[in-house]
Structure 1
């Protein structure tokens, strides 16, 4: 899952990024409201952490513009302010939650998990299942009928994306945007390499799940008999 951190305090933003990466989230970081809006408008993020006080555009203004454009990505506001009006204004304009600085790592992660649950997403520490496979995204493990293999982060993220999209076809463009970010220089062959890695691991585990290529469209998970 991909999270956007919009925080003008560079050291805090970097600390948050490291915390989330250790939980196996993919992370983008920006330091002003204008960049936050540009990134968030891409629609590739599963959750946004928006600081209220940012240069260019404040967090509330970013939130208003996103909701006005129909972007429903969950938003948690970060604020150092204690005034109840900031919290009420944020919630009234579509924020899903808020957290006042300073905050504990445990509280932040709990609020992120809660926001993702409300959206209907499967949070990373849960086990995802499809056919006979079980993917543990918290520990980067793929299991089939009790036999398991360790995945690297990109393999886990790719398989998670395919599983959560169920039997919808996922294009290479969608995979690149979700796993590397919309401004990444990753290319189609990067996707093909990780698809190949996953196919080999599914075969090794004797899974009935296959990653099928829909020529000219993308990839889809299927269960074979």
Structure 2
């Protein structure tokens, strides 16, 4: 039997989809808890403290966007993979703005879901021996997974942290959206550019004037190395 890798919470009201997700995640050594109602899913997330949450947007009782909002307001930064329908672009973008870490659009393969969950957890744990990185007024500790801006702690989602870490590790360099998607998510070429723009906007809002992420029109994004 595979080593238990922690509990994944699945919030999905379509039973056949939930059963498929449960089966594939279980094969990879994850414990799985399923809820079909949004209110119950939120309660389970708070009670069980899963290592990751697979969260359908269209849930009865309370939708996935509101669940994500409440967890992030609680200070719970458990990695969240949103599951969306093709016509839910607005909700998907809103979910990312609220702190979701990744998303899948129905229909998707269960193997891809497993790959996304494992990828998020690898990035959340991170290499423990990485040095502290300083750019201007930002201090990023990739071992402890912490960020300080002017000495104060700033909370980031898993994906926000990984995106900022990549930019800070390469100050002065400019990366295309595809390069950043490949580096941070491990995938590229299947997302619209709005997703990366959303994450850059979120980082800029959290860093304020201390984080000098610059936009190079027609190219992409980079971190100014002499930010003050």
Under a length normalisation based on structure 2, what TM-score does the superposition of the two structures give?
Answer: 0.51
Distance in 2 separating the partners of 1:109 and 1:44: 19
Determine if contact 1:43/1:71 at 8 Å carries over to the other structure.
Answer: no
What does residue 67 of structure 2 align with?
62
Map Cα deviations across residues 74-104 of structure 1 (whole Å, 9 max, x no partner).
Answer: 0001111344322211110000000001101
Determine if contact 1:82/1:100 at 8 Å carries over to the other structure.
Answer: no
Determine if contact 1:43/1:73 at 8 Å carries over to the other structure.
Answer: no
What does residue 94 of structure 2 align with?
89
Distance in 1 separating the partners of 2:26 and 2:126: 18
Tell me how far 1:14 sits from its aligned partner: 1.2
Distance in 1 separating the partners of 2:92 and 2:106: 13
CA RMSD across the alignment? 1.6
Distance in 2 separating the partners of 1:41 and 1:15: 24
Is 1:12 the equivalent of 2:17?
A: yes
Map Cα deviations across residues 159-194 of structure 1 (whole Å, 9 max, x no partner).
Answer: xxxxxxxxxxxxxxxxxxxxxxxxxxxxxxxxxxxx
Is 1:24 the equivalent of 2:8?
A: no
Under a length normalisation based on structure 1, what TM-score does the superposition of the two structures give?
Answer: 0.52
Map Cα deviations across residues 5-52 of structure 1 (whole Å, 9 max, x no partner).
Answer: 000001111111111111110000000100110011125200000000
Is 1:50 the equivalent of 2:50?
A: no
Tell me how far 1:2 sits from its aligned partner: 0.8
Higher Cα Rg: structure 1 or 2?
Answer: 1
Gap regions ≥5 residues in structure 2: 1-5, 128-228
Distance in 2 separating the partners of 1:105 and 1:55: 23
Distance in 1 separating the partners of 2:126 and 2:110: 21
Gap regions ≥5 residues in structure 1: 123-225
The one of 99, 109, 113 aligned to 2:118: 113
Aligned residues: 122
Is 1:39 the equivalent of 2:76?
A: no
What does residue 99 of structure 1 align with?
104
